[in-house]
Amino acid sequence: MLEKIKNILSQANEELEKVSDLAGLDNIRVSYLGKKGHLTLILRTLGSLSPEERPVVGDSINKAKAELEEKISLKKETLEKTTSKSSTKLLDLTLPGRTPFKGAYHPITQILNEICDIFTSLGFTVSQGPEIELDFYNFEALNIPAEHPARDMQDTFYVSDNVVLRTHTSPIQIRTMQKRKPPLKIIAPGKVYRCDSDITHTPMFHQIEGLHVDKDLSFSHLKGLLIQFLQKFFSADTKVRFRPSFFPFTEPSAEVDIGCMMCGGSGCRVCKGTGWIEVLGAGMVHPQVFRNVGYDPAEFTGYAFGLGIERFTMLRYGINDIRLYYENDIRFLEQFK
């Protein structure tokens, strides 16, 4: 019996020498150490041996099993190393590449760019200004002195007594006019902040300001421009109306509405039954604003307007909750690729 165990072991060693892949190695393991393997079967015959032979043969089988297990595990390590090296060599360069993940602009950025493109095609250039703004530019120079009730129109985040997070993009009008002489024709896109939050208002949102200053500009220039812009952005048959309104920095002032595209003007939830949706504020630059920046209101006239990008994006895509833009839910954002 001991001789038989010796022969099985030397046979296994020979096979281990020759084996060159992991599948072959596993076959050797199963044929010697598996349930029906050579060594296992001998172990099962122990019962038929005499009490004197049993411990000797048992010990020999256990040693043979341990020796074989160790050799198999060493061989496995060697084969794993060479297999991983050869798989690098076998890299198939003809396989198609992995498609890279493609990002996209946020819907707000897409609409902001689209609106900027429309105005730049109409001769406007882009101006920018700081988001943390002095009270002077955000309010005073725009004809909104301290304690004036118009300050309540916008709920302001104060950084200090004299410094605010800008509540609108109108301060960029002042900064630009201080730096440049007319004629000027600018748009000013950017983030603005108000202490405001519900399904149509967020504490941070985006506006685009427009300002055109020259000699002999009138309200009809403003009307013509905004009708052209709104029909280009929404559709050529969009109805536009101007409603008298109030802004301290424009006189006269107007709010501009478009015919509701959801109900075609018959009245629905979106337009609150009126058939109209307010989309922007506008007016002729107030003479006091010109004086505040050193322009002569007898020589120059100008018009200005301001619109909210979130509102335009909601109308374009039929979105009914503004907060969706800022939840960073990839399932929502991916629809705008």
User: Which residue, 5 or 254, is less far from ligand FA5 as judged by CB?
Assistant: 254
Closest CB 298 distance from ligand FA5, rounded Å? 21
| Residues in CB range of 75: below 8 A, 6 or more apart | 16, 19, 25
User: Which residue, 34 or 203, is less far from ligand FA5 as judged by CB?
Assistant: 203
User: Which residue, 39 or 207, is less far from ligand FA5 as judged by CB?
Assistant: 207
Provide the 8-state DSSP code for 201: B
The rounded distance, in Å, linking the Cα atoms of 101 and 184 is 43
Helix axes 107-121, 309-317, angle to 10 degrees: 110
Task: Tell me if 108 sits within 8 A of 332, measured CB to CB.
Answer: no
Closest CB 250 distance from ligand FA5, rounded Å? 5
Provide the 8-state DSSP code for 182: S
State the greatest distance between any 2 C-alpha atoms of the chain, in Å, as a whole number. 127
User: Which residue, 8 or 309, is less far from ligand FA5 as judged by CB?
Assistant: 309
User: Which residue, 182 or 283, is less far from ligand FA5 as judged by CB?
Assistant: 283
User: Which residue, 61 or 271, is less far from ligand FA5 as judged by CB?
Assistant: 271
Closest CB 193 distance from ligand FA5, rounded Å? 9
Closest CB 207 distance from ligand FA5, rounded Å? 5
Closest CB 194 distance from ligand FA5, rounded Å? 5
Task: Tell me if 252 sits within 8 A of 283, measured CB to CB.
Answer: yes
Closest listed residue to residue 171, CA positions, set 127, 203, 201, 214: 127
Closest CB 161 distance from ligand FA5, rounded Å? 22
As a dihedral over the C-alpha atoms of residue 235, residue 272, residue 334, residue 120, rounded to 10 degrees, the angle is: 40
Helix (H, G, I), strand (E, B) or coil at 146: coil
CA angle, residues 71, 46, 56, in degrees to nearest 5:
65
Closest CB 94 distance from ligand FA5, rounded Å? 53
User: Which residue, 258 or 280, is less far from ligand FA5 as judged by CB?
Assistant: 280
Task: Tell me if 301 sits within 8 A of 284, measured CB to CB.
Answer: yes
Residues lying near ligand FA5 in the complex (CB under 6 A) are found at 154, 168, 170, 194, 196, 201-202, 205, 207, 209, 247, 250, 280-283, 304-308, 310-311
How far, rounded to the nearest angstrom, does the alpha carbon of residue 83 sit from its chain's CA centroid? 42
The rounded distance, in Å, linking the Cα atoms of 234 and 236 is 7
The rounded distance, in Å, linking the Cα atoms of 171 and 269 is 34
User: Which residue, 15 or 196, is less far from ligand FA5 as judged by CB?
Assistant: 196
Token readout for 122 is 């109409």
Closest CB 84 distance from ligand FA5, rounded Å? 57
Is 318 exposed, middle or buried, given 0-12, 13-18 or 19+ CB atoms closer than 10 A?
exposed
User: Which residue, 37 or 171, is less far from ligand FA5 as judged by CB?
Assistant: 171
Closest CB 90 distance from ligand FA5, rounded Å? 58
